[in-house]
Amino acid sequence: MNPAVHLDGITKRFPGVVANDDVDLTVERGSVHALLGENGAGKTTLMNVLYGLYEPTEGTVVLDGEPQSFDSPRDAIDAGVGMIHQHFMLVDPMTVWENVVLGNEPKAWGGLRVDKTAARDAVTELSERYGFDVDPDATIADISVGEQQRVEILKALYRGADVLIMDEPTAVLTPQEVEELYGVFEELTDQGKTIIFISHKLGEALSAADDITVLRDGLNVGTVSAADVTREDLAEMMVGREVLMEPAASPQPPGDSVLEVTGLCVDDDRGVEAVSDLSFELRAGEVLGVAGVDGNGQSQLVEAVTGLREAASGEIRYRGESILGTTRRERIDGGMAFVPEDRHERGLVMSYDLTENGILGSQHDPPFARGGRLDWRASRDHAESVIEQYDVRPPDAEATAESLSGGNQQKFIVGREFERDPDLVVAMHPTRGVDIGSTEFLHDRLLDLRAEGKAVLLVSSKLDEVQGLSDRLAVMHEGSFSGVVDPATVTEEEIGLLMAGEPLDDDSVERAAVHGDADPTDGGPDEDPMDGTAGEGVDA
């Protein structure tokens, strides 16, 4: 029997970026296949190719042995491919059955009228056949997110989908709804449907999928059977065995405590606990690295420390004083530099030029603000100095942030924050999208800061980066540190275990705060919007 889906050597290039590089993917009929990878690994791009949104640069889509050529999702739908996006495309004030038939309504009176009875019956029948338990007459706005997702699945089934692609299907669901979704998967595959779902969560792929394909940097790292693989294997496949940097020893013993976090709990936007009872201390002249698969609470931790998110409970002390309840402004003024993970949303004002962006965060402080007015000359000099030191191209302080490539935007942000003369640097993915040469420079600067006695909290999904720069390496899993280890002696296998949430008994573990029952869904943020459209780590 032919496989339901066979992608043959798919390559998708965008200007300056290879999002998918010669990817082969085979999905058997009636199976659940997980597409696993970090943000920007090319998962969504690959699925958009299968769904006809993108035309592959090279390669062929083969469905059930038949080579296909899709000009649009319409063609893909006609060929039996349905896609359920992360953000549902439902009309809120309309009922379930109206949403399902929308665009493909059964007609009566020679096409003048929607045959409501037939439409409603068809939807009821479909819903019952798959045991979906959705009231066809309910209004979308009134039903739960899990039910809305099932309506989306019904929509695809109504259009005759045999292959269902789901983009991060658990991202918006509660743990109970996730369990229900797994039940839906079983129901669908029992009836011969094929499911491909995109995820960056290991546990999810292991519990729901039959087979797992891991993508990294646009390449297919391998396809494995969920039955024969461990979480550690998957973590290793996702993060990759990259050349380890020689960890540079700290020139001096750590100084005073700069940041002290005790019993910190932070909720994400949905109100789900993303950081759970986390405690650590960071001292002057020390780099604490935080590794882990994206979405395990790193963002919420960093936001709570830097003042962008309120802590639910616990304590954060900065230079000995509690900073809970202080504003972002007060934390900036207190000498906290912050390289945010999202440069387009937070780190830069895209429509401002670099002169204006250079004072973001310092707009009330001398030398930029003096006597209630902004000194644009000083601001410009500052921007030019950052541009020169950090090799930002083009070297033009009047260029708008949006006109720069991602790597150069990143260099500018890192430069601005590093040159703030901070006491604490919180850096999240500081070298994301930056080319190799500049990455080394940024790493050297970070170590210089440490030598100057600054405290650095470094969060990165690049294992070699956190391992090479940190004095202590914490691995974060589902909101807490599954272990804090010595980066010089820890092995990749051990980090893989910790990333999967399993504690070590090794001597190198200073402290392991493992959480009891592992929650299958972590409260991670939504997938980085850049995923799929641009590969990370490539500087255009």
Partner 1 sequence: MSDSGPGSGTDPDRVPSLARRVLAPFADRSVAERLVISLAAIVLSIAVGFVIVLVSGRVAECTTAAWTMPVTGMGFCYDPVEVYVVLFNGALGYPFAVGEPGLLNPTWSPFNLSFGLTLSETTLLIFTGLSVAVAFRAGLFNIGTQGQLVVGALATALTVLAAAPLLPEGPAAGVVLILVGTAAGAVGGGFWGAIPGALKAYADANEVITTIMLNFVAANVAYVLVLEVFRAEGSSVVATRYVPEYAQIRPWLFSDSSDFALVALAAGVVCIAGLYYLLEHTPFGYDLRTSGVQAAAAEYGGVNAKLTTVRAMTLSGAIGGIGGSVWVLMSEGRWMASVPDLGFDGITVSILAGNNPIGVLPAAFLFGLLKGGALEIGFQTDVPTELVGVLRGLIILFVAMPEFFRMIGRFVGMGSGGTGGVAATSSEAGEAATEGGETDA
Query: How many angstroms separate the CA atoms of 536 and 540, rounded?
Result: 10
Query: How is residue 101 written in tokens?
Result: 């038939």
β-pair partners for 501: none
Helix (H, G, I), strand (E, B) or coil at 63: strand
Choose between 322 and 327: whose C-beta lies nearer to partner 1.
Answer: 327
Alpha carbon of residue 216 to chain centroid: 13
Minimum CB separation of residue 354 from partner 1 in Å reads 11
Choose between 324 and 447: whose C-beta lies nearer to partner 1.
Answer: 324
Find out whether 537 and 272 touch, Cβ atoms under 8 Å: no
Minimum CB separation of residue 356 from partner 1 in Å reads 7
Query: How is residue 294 written in tokens?
Result: 């994206």
Q: Which residue has the tokens 């269902």?
A: 164
Q: Which residues of 67-93 are buried (b: 16+ CB within 10 A; e: fewer)?
A: ebebeeeeebbebbbbbbeeebebeee
Find out whether 206 and 475 touch, Cβ atoms under 8 Å: no
Minimum CB separation of residue 333 from partner 1 in Å reads 8
First and final C-alpha spacing in the chain: 43
DSSP single-letter state for residue 58: E
Choose between 117 and 327: whose C-beta lies nearer to partner 1.
Answer: 327
Choose between 98 and 531: whose C-beta lies nearer to partner 1.
Answer: 531
Minimum CB separation of residue 372 from partner 1 in Å reads 6
Binding site for partner 1 (CB under 8 A): 14-17, 308, 327-329, 331-333, 338, 340, 342, 344-353, 356, 359-361, 363-364, 369, 372-374, 376, 396, 398-402, 405-407, 409, 433, 529-530, 533-535, 538-540
Minimum CB separation of residue 215 from partner 1 in Å reads 17
Residues 6+ apart with CB under 8 A from 517: none
Minimum CB separation of residue 17 from partner 1 in Å reads 4
Choose between 293 and 348: whose C-beta lies nearer to partner 1.
Answer: 348
Peptide bond into 394 cis (omega under 30): yes
Query: How many angstroms separate the CA atoms of 449 and 480, rounded?
Result: 27
Choose between 99 and 357: whose C-beta lies nearer to partner 1.
Answer: 357
Find out whether 31 and 193 touch, Cβ atoms under 8 Å: no
Task: Work out the number of other CB atoms within 10 angstroms of the CB of residue 312.
Answer: 16
Choose between 291 and 534: whose C-beta lies nearer to partner 1.
Answer: 534
Choose between 95 and 405: whose C-beta lies nearer to partner 1.
Answer: 405
Minimum CB separation of residue 537 from partner 1 in Å reads 10
Minimum CB separation of residue 412 from partner 1 in Å reads 13
Minimum CB separation of residue 262 from partner 1 in Å reads 25
Find out whether 324 and 265 touch, Cβ atoms under 8 Å: no
Choose between 285 and 433: whose C-beta lies nearer to partner 1.
Answer: 433
How far is the CA of 132 from the CAs of 23, 88, 144, 179, 192, in angstroms? 34, 17, 13, 13, 16
Choose between 22 and 396: whose C-beta lies nearer to partner 1.
Answer: 396
Query: How is residue 329 written in tokens?
Result: 């402004």
Q: Which residue has the tokens 């009875």?
A: 117
Query: How many angstroms separate the CA atoms of 468 and 249, rounded?
Result: 10
Minimum CB separation of residue 411 from partner 1 in Å reads 13
